[in-house]
DNA sequence: TCATTTCTGTGTTGATCGATACATAAATGA
DNA sequence: TCATTTATGTATCGATCAACACAGAAATGA
């Protein structure tokens, strides 16, 4: 398959490197704000090469968001699985979020959260895909909390869904906070606020 | 002034009613997603009438967001002043937010939070205005918490800035949550999570 | 009545949008 | 060598963007 595709004139640019550049543009400007001109210029190619290699703006965005989750988001969500307790898992998840969202050498906030918030007939697939990814993230949080219940760390009647919703919402808010230029310290203050809810939530469930 | 302006052919549409329609379009589609065609059609006028009455798309947006804060946002922020305690003030503020963001007869989430998140040279003034409004909201929260400290409800070393940042961030996250179709119950679960942090934050400050 | 002022609807402006046509270049297999 | 295949650069496509020119309509004051 791969061997057969080596016929014809070879591509003169690195497809993965160009995709990463496209990701940065979408990340900074959002889906509608990023024009084909912007993208092609950042990728160092002309628009026909872009369309030949990726198909369309929509397809390019979908590939870019996939790359984003794998490269930029992986570390954050890995914390959920690796931490020994649910409490530590949530805390590390939020702290890594604060760190990632305040990196000064890349766009602030999250591409998944901010990439395409305004639905439109011409952007239906884009919005649906981002929504699906956000829903997956919510499920990952819920699963980790449920594991905490199963392992006896949290009371049996702990509301995992509600808690997961809360922490996911805090993370989404941090994207907007980061876009407003919040410092890492300010984002960590939000993390501290969210974690302050932990004890009360666990105790309330027991009562 | 007003009398002098009554010369010439009178306007055949209600300027305020049309502005409200424009607000709804910006609210649903965001600044870049709302075209002049969209706006004029929803307002029931042609684009020259739009430009004659409001000046430009940017000026129309600024008027629309001002109307939004006065009409849609007033009730939410009034809760801060009216509640007898800081704790109740924050709780009512968040509960009214949950109610407002889940109204099914209007766009979900907040125009101030979601209207223009991606900065661009052509949208600088828009983004700056929304950022200013968000900063004002943060200040209002901080002021209310400081009043709680002054009145002895909260310990003297309570970190008002950090707490205000946390609650503002939760509200911003609720906008994205609402855009994802969250029910009022789901938004109230987030409110409960945020309020669960209250006791811990107050106690930690005392320690 | 009539000059002045302001608004309305039609039609259009140059710019930019996402997406391609086309000719040429550079690789392959036969 | 040469037909085939794929990529590249130039130069555009029709559609839509924000904004406006212009002429006619509807009010005013004199």
Residue of A nearest to B123 (CA): A33
How many other CB atoms sit within 10 Å of the CB of residue B54? 21
b/e string for A24-58 if b means 16 or more Cβ within 10 A? bbbbbbbbbbbeeebbbebbebeeebbeebbeebb
Mean pLDDT by 10 residues, chain B (207 residues): 69 98 98 98 98 98 98 96 97 98 97 95 90 98 98 96 98 98 97 96 74
CA dihedral A135, A136, A141, A143 (to 10 degrees): 120
Whether A184 has a pLDDT exceeding 90, the answer reads yes
- CA-based angle B156:B157:B159, to the nearest 5? 120
Model pLDDT, residue B5: 55
Determine if strand D comes within 7 Å of the CB of B47.
Answer: yes
* Protein CA at A41 to nucleotide C1' at D8, angstroms: 15
Give the model's pLDDT for residue A109: 98
Cβ pairs bridging A and B (under 8 Å):
141
pLDDT band at residue A203 using 50, 70 and 90 as cut-offs = confident
* pLDDT over threshold 70, residue A3: no
pLDDT of A2 above 60: no
Closest partner residue to A176 (CB to CB) among B30, B172, B192 is: B172
> Closest CA to D25 C1' — which residue?
B9
Using a pLDDT cut of 90, give the percent of chain A over it.
90
- Enumerate residues 28 to 57 of chain B having a beta carbon within 8 A of any beta carbon in chain A: 28-30, 32-33
DSSP assignment letter at A108 = S
Distance, C-alpha A114 to centroid of its chain? 9
- Is any atom of strand C within 7 angstroms of residue B11's beta carbon? yes
* pLDDT tens string A121-170: 778 899 999 999 999 999 999 999 999 999 999 999 999 999 999 999 99
- Asked if A161 lies within 8 A of B189 by C-beta distance, the reply is yes
Which of B118, B170, B180 shows the shortest C-beta gap to A134?
Answer: B180
Helix (H) or strand (E) holding B38: helix B36-43
Higher-pLDDT residue of A199 and B95 is B95
Using alpha carbons only, give the angle A63, A133, B107 rounded to the nearest 5 degrees.
Answer: 110
Question: Do A165 and A138 contact (CB within 8 A), yes or no?
Answer: yes
Residue B206 has a pLDDT of 62
Q: What pLDDT is attached to residue B120?
A: 84
Q: Which residue of A has its CA nearest to B178?
A: A169
Query: Alpha-carbon distance B26 to B29, whole Å?
Result: 5
Q: What's the predicted TM-score (pTM) here?
A: 0.95
Rounded Cα–Cα distance for residues A120 and A135 (Å): 20
d(CA A127, CA A133): 10
Tokens 């305004």 found at = A118
The CA distance from A171 to A168, in Å, is: 5
Match 């990340």 to its residue by tokens.
A27
In this prediction, what percent of chain A has a pLDDT beyond 70?
Answer: 96
In angstroms, what separates the C-alpha of B15 from chain A's closest C-alpha? 26
Contact B180 A131 (CB under 8 A): yes
pLDDT at A124 (0 to 100): 84
Structure tokens at B30: 């965001």
A181 vs A3, more confident: A181
């Amino acid at each position: 398959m791969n061997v057969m595709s080596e016929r014809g004139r070879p591509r003169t640019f690195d497809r993965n490197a160009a995709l990463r550049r496209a990701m940065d543009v979408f990340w900074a400007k959002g889906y509608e704000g990023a024009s084909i001109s912007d993208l092609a210029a950042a990728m160092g190619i002309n628009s026909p090469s872009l369309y030949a290699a990726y198909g369309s703006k929509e397809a390019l965005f979908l590939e870019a968001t996939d790359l984003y989750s794998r490269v930029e988001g992986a570390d954050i969500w890995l914390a959920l699985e690796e931490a020994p307790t649910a409490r530590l898992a949530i805390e590390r998840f939020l702290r890594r979020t604060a760190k990632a969202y305040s990196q000064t050498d890349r766009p602030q906030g999250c591409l998944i959260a901010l990439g395409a918030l305004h639905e439109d007939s011409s952007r239906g697939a884009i919005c649906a895909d981002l929504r699906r990814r956000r829903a997956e993230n919510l499920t990952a949080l819920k699963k980790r909390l449920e594991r905490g219940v199963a392992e006896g760390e949290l009371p049996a009647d702990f509301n995992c869904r509600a808690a997961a919703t809360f922490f996911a919402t805090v993370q989404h808010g941090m994207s907007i906070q980061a876009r407003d230029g919040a410092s890492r310290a300010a984002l960590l203050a939000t993390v501290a606020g969210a974690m302050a809810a932990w004890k009360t939530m666990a105790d309330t469930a027991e009562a």
